[in-house]
Amino acid sequence: MPELPEMEHYRRALFPLVAGKPITTVRVEREKTVNVPPDAFCRLVLGGVMSTVERRAKHLLFPLSSGLTLHLHLMLGGSMFYGTEEQKPDRSAQVTLGFADGKQLYFHGLRLGYLHIHDPAALQEALGKLGPDPFDPSLTPQRFAELLRRKRGTLKSVLVDQAAVVSGIGNCYSDEICFAAGLLPTRRTGELDAGETRSLYDAMRHVLRTATERGGYMDVPLFAGDTLTGGFDPLCAVYDRKGEPCIRCGSPIAFAEVNSRKCFFCTQCQH
């Protein structure tokens, strides 16, 4: 499932491609993907101009010139592609937005995900329960430590809880952050001392920043000739690396289920 680095990478890549372009065609192939009847969705979106592309946690937002906002959550299996009909992947698109230059933005695999249209009040309600963004300037190390102390549970469960300490982190980056901080994902938040909490904060920002700059770990190209998307996948230290040697000590990477989520870690380097 795309997490903060994937969605921030998509945001940066899509902005110069779609911002300022009027939407000239709209197709909805799966009614459940949108939150209003397809005819109404098409009517509300058609002719709109995406003024920018924004991100909130794992969500992408496309504000329209009408004052409405397209709200995307890819969930598990969702992806996007920007290009021509001839360039697009051979998979069905639940929603397609077309532009005057012949390029289209395809939303694939939205069986669990969605592309909703909201007015400002509805958008606020949809996003209102999310925790702070890891890069929010107000999320200082002190504020992070305070939020962490309030939430009891394992590091794995707390980091992936979108309404707890931070939002935007899922299975992959919770494991990568814990490895970078030298902490087992099974550690309880109440057990961490001040130094460990600061290490977790620094690791979180470093891992998420590096992963974003490398295009995230999901390797489905966003457009023809895209060579950046998925560039972080070979750099993952532990995620999906069960049995492979640890890059620090050479011990086999361990796998376990923590709070019903798959979890990868090094039993020698993480404490």
> Which active-site residues does the annotation give?
2-3, 58, 261
Q: Is the dihedral of CA 254, 258, 260, 261 positive or negative?
A: negative
Q: What are phi and psi of 43, to 5 degrees?
A: -65, -40
The position carrying tokens 């899922």 is 170
How many DSSP H helices and E strands does the chain contain? Answer: 7, 10
CA 13 distance to own-chain centroid = 14
Q: Are 114 and 33 in contact (CB under 8 A)?
A: yes
| Burial 36-45, CB ≥16 within 10 A → b, else e | eebeebbebb
Beta strand residue intervals within 5-136, DSSP E? 23-28, 54-56, 59-63, 69-73, 79-83, 93-99, 104-108, 114-118
Distance between CA atoms of residues 138 and 167, nearest Å:
14
User: Where does 29-134 have alpha helices with state H?
Assistant: 38-45, 120-127
Residue 97: beta bridge partners? 26, 105
List of residues 6+ apart from 69 with CB closer than 8 A: 61, 62, 63, 117, 118, 119, 120, 123
